[in-house]
Chains A and B, each alone.
Chain A
Amino acid sequence: MNLYASKDDLIRWLDSLLKEHIVIAPVEIQGQTMFQPISKAESCQLSAISNTVLSPKGWFLPPTETLFSVKRDDGHVELVPTQVEQDAVLFGLHPCDARGIALMDKPFLQEPSDALYRERRSRTALIGLACRQAQPECFCTSMGSAPDDSSNVDIMLTEVEDGYIVQAITDKGKTLLPKGLKEYKGKVPAPPKLQTIPTKEVVSAIKGLFNDPYWEKLADRCLHCNICAYVCPTCYCFDIRDYADKEKIERVRSWESCQSRGFSLTAGGYDPRATKGERLRQRFCHKLLYFPEEFEDVACVGCGRCVRDCPVNIDIREVINSLKQVTEAKSGS
């Protein structure tokens, strides 16, 4: 059943959620929208059409976290794993970001699962917000999602005049629904139409393009920064390092990316992906070939963040279109 919540109802609901949960919602910081834990309902900004600067993946895989620490005291050694303390609600997720979390689940929840990710994931409810407008960089419908896709959230919100349609999608969602909402009998607004790109064709052809000169050419303008990987809702590579002093040892995990020079460098100095083209190819092959081979889906949700934020306009939609052309040219010759 579709329920209706006015904007005031929504504020009251957020306030009640805040009593027992950490609520992570889009907030505005110096002109940018970011997912952050909020302390009062009014901080939540649901009106931004653009996706947040960083995707909400950081709630489950933080930019940096201590996996465990070791305390040393007079010859006695104690291992202290990091605990997830509180239930959380991720509020106002666009469908692309919710799908991003569903894709992150595949590597992190397959056995042996990642303990901290699993804990955070099972204790977090996802409340989605349908997109009523699309940005020029959006292409979720070409990546298995849609602006009104509710399949990866516990509760779905759709903005209508003066309020929101509220739908509980899962049992977890039902338990979180605010009480006293009336039924919504109006029409559910149609989602915006989006551009399409030939993802499927390229996924089935990309294996044959591994040694194509296209990659080095594309990499000419690539700066090999980590922006695309860090803003991406599905890039999940990390580095691990131990920090130690006299009292304490900590094992720390931080985001890392296949675009950085040190990522594939091995002891002795050999780098299997030494050239710019090889590193850039890894990014696209992981998304369009290796991830689908292992987990069926393409590791891209069409949120458009990498398109929007790349300083030199390496546009994955253009890459996919170009790869299709390269394939056609090859099969035609």
Chain B
Amino acid sequence: MDKELTQQIRDKARSLLEEGVVEGVIGYERASDGVTSRPFFVYDPSDTERLIFDETCAHNLVKYLMDKKGKKMAVVVKPCDSRAINLERDKVFIIGVGCPGMVETNWSHKSETWQAKCRSCQLFKPVVYDFLVGEEIERQAEEETYSDIAEAEAKSVGTRREFWLEQFGRCIRCYACRQVCPGCYCPVCFAERLDPLWVGIRIAPEENDMWQTVRSFHLAGRCIGCNECERVCPVDIPMSLLNRKLEKDVKELFNFQAGLDPEEPPPFATFKKEEIMEFEK
């Protein structure tokens, strides 16, 4: 299966480059540990032989399209990643991959277990693509019950506060969560604004708290659940708990899931006149 997907991706990448359809292809290659994978930018058709696709290709490559604005690029996109594509479609060639699910990986190790997000993922094909490989892939998905969120919600405010301060206490403000996030595209992040000053430079619980909370709330209704933030966090902060709480609320309040319909704007990026009336009442 992996070999087949890999070969189809290589062939497509090669023809896109040879025919001049795109300037470059963003895909995956084997990492230096020989076990996991890493993002790979291909500009030369002969390098397409280094492209791979397997259960370690977790990175959401859509983020890189922001760096390559103005260049016509092709990008390898899994179903979850595809929900992040929110840009001029004619500038991007999407090589969609039917996804068999990604496993938990760490430097030089891969586990047999699927990532948590994959267990309940109902999306087997990307929501947008120009070319699809692995169309036939199907797998069993569990229902997303948000049971862990309900469990957290049942706890007292004090207990939750204590839990999060302990988690955020480990944060080193490396901003890997922001840098990897396809929804974080502000030209200047609030964390770096001096005027107004939203959050200072202290790497300490009281300021990490502000950073982490605003980060997740700014993504309410826009987070597509790729969970890259949690995967890259060097101190293992369970950000998916916050992100999925917001996802659940937005689903319940607005009947909306980010990125499933590329035409529909997220609830906090739009308003209707009726909503203002309702609010004033």
Contact = CB atoms under 8 A, between A and B. Distances in A.
A89 to B, nearest CB: 23
Query: Most chain-A Cβ atoms within 10 A of its Cβ — which of B31, B32, B33, B170?
Result: B32
B176 interface: yes
Contacts of B32: 307, 313, 315, 317-318
Interface stretch (A96-104, A217-225, A294-302): A217-225
Interface in B122-168: none
A311 interface: yes
Nearest to A318: B32
Interface in A284-333: 307-309, 311-313, 315, 317-318
Contacts of B64: 220-221
B201 A239 contact: yes
Interface string B154-196: 0000000000000000101111101110000000000010000
A254 B203 contact: yes
Contact of A32 (B67, B107, B180, B236): B236
Consensus secondary structure, chain B interface: loop
Contacts of A260: 175
A313 B38 contact: yes
B200 interface: yes
Nearest to B202: A64
B67 A53 contact: no
Given A225-B180, A311-B176, A32 B235 contact: yes
Interface in A188-236: 217, 220-221, 223-227, 230-231
A115 B203 CA distance: 21
Interface of B: 31-33, 36, 38-41, 59, 63-64, 67, 107-108, 170, 172-176, 178-180, 192, 200-204, 231-232, 234-236
24 contacts: A29-B170, A31-B236, A64-B204, A137-B107, A137-B108, A221-B40, A221-B64, A223-B63, A223-B180, A225-B176, A225-B179, A226-B173, A227-B176, A227-B232, A252-B202, A254-B201, A255-B173, A262-B192, A276-B67, A307-B32, A309-B107, A311-B180, A312-B59, A313-B32
